[in-house]
Amino acid sequence: MAEATLSPRRKQTFSALDPRLSFLASQAAVELDNLLLDKGTELEAVRKLGIRLEESMESSAETGERRTFLDAPTVSVLTEAITQSSPQAVQSLADLVKEAWQMATDLRGTEPTSDKSALRRLRSFCLFLSQNARSYRQSIFDMQPELPFRS
């Protein structure tokens, strides 16, 4: 199995439970929107998001097989964001990794001169990712009783 040749797990930097993810995705969506409006060319958040997403996956040099380090909540949030922003259906984990890899590559490679329809698709992905991550975090938070038994 190719899995044996992949490196050990790295620290996860792309997590639906991290409140910074929804904000980063929001910043990326704003940057892409500004680019579409010819209001600006800054793409720092877009590239940072692409890098984080890419770092959550790994590709085997020998077989090209990819695997993801994503946890279950992030798989859930990412699947939703990809499904909402792209015509591609995600029906398996392999589909998700393939689409996410493509999305990460596109985000990293975004340029002010990129094709407008591609920019719109990425903007849409960033927006849904931000919304879904925030909403997932809130739904988890809501499971906690109002006055939890804490110490």
Partner 1 sequence: MLPLDFCRERVRSFLRELDHLRDSDFPYRDSRDALDAIEKVVQTHKDQLAGLTEKNDLPIIQNACSESLAAINAFLPLLGFILRSTNVRNSFEVFGPLRRLARRVLGERIKLVLSSEWMLSPHVYLPIVELPDFVLLGLPACESGNPLLIPLAGHELGHTAWRCRHIEANYWPDKIDKLILAEVKKREADYEQWFRARADDLFVKQDVSPACVSALRQLEETFCDCVGVRLFSDSYLHAFACLVLPNISAKRSFFYPSAKQRFANLKAAADRYGVEFSDDYNEWFVTEPVSAKGSKEQFLLSLADSAVAALVPDVISKAENPADVADVPKMDAEKVKQSLKSLHLFVPATDAGCLVNILTAGWQVYRNPQFWQDVVNPPKDRIATLYELVLKSIEVLEIETVLGGLPHVES
Interacting residue ranges for partner 1, rule: CB under 8 A: 9, 11-12, 17-20, 22-23, 26-27, 29-30, 33-34, 36-37, 39-40, 69-73, 75-76, 79, 90-93, 95-96, 123, 127, 130-131, 134, 140, 143-145, 147-151
Question: CB 13 → partner 1: shortest distance, Å?
Answer: 11
Nearer to partner 1, 19 or 109 (CB): 19
To partner 1, the closest distance from the beta carbon of 7 in angstroms equals: 14
In the complex with partner 1, the residue whose CB is nearer, 54 or 68, is: 68
Q: With contact defined as beta carbons under 8 Å apart, do 14 and 104 qualify?
A: no
**What's the helix, strand, coil split of the chain in %, to 5?**
60, 5, 35
Buried-state track 4-14, b at ≥16 Cβ within 10 A, e below 16: eebeeeeeeeb
Q: Which long-range contacts (CB under 8 A, 24 or more apart) does 73-79 make?
A: 73/15, 73/16, 73/17, 73/136, 73/140, 74/12, 74/14, 74/15, 74/16, 74/17, 76/16, 76/136, 77/16, 77/129, 77/132, 77/133, 77/136, 78/16, 78/129
Shortest Cβ 128–partner 1 spacing (Å): 9
- 87 vs 145, which CB is nearer to partner 1? 145
Nearer to partner 1, 97 or 103 (CB): 97
CB of 74 to partner 1, least distance (A): 8
Cβ of residue 49: shortest distance to partner 1, in angstroms?
A: 14
Residue nearer to partner 1 on the CB measure, 55 or 71: 71
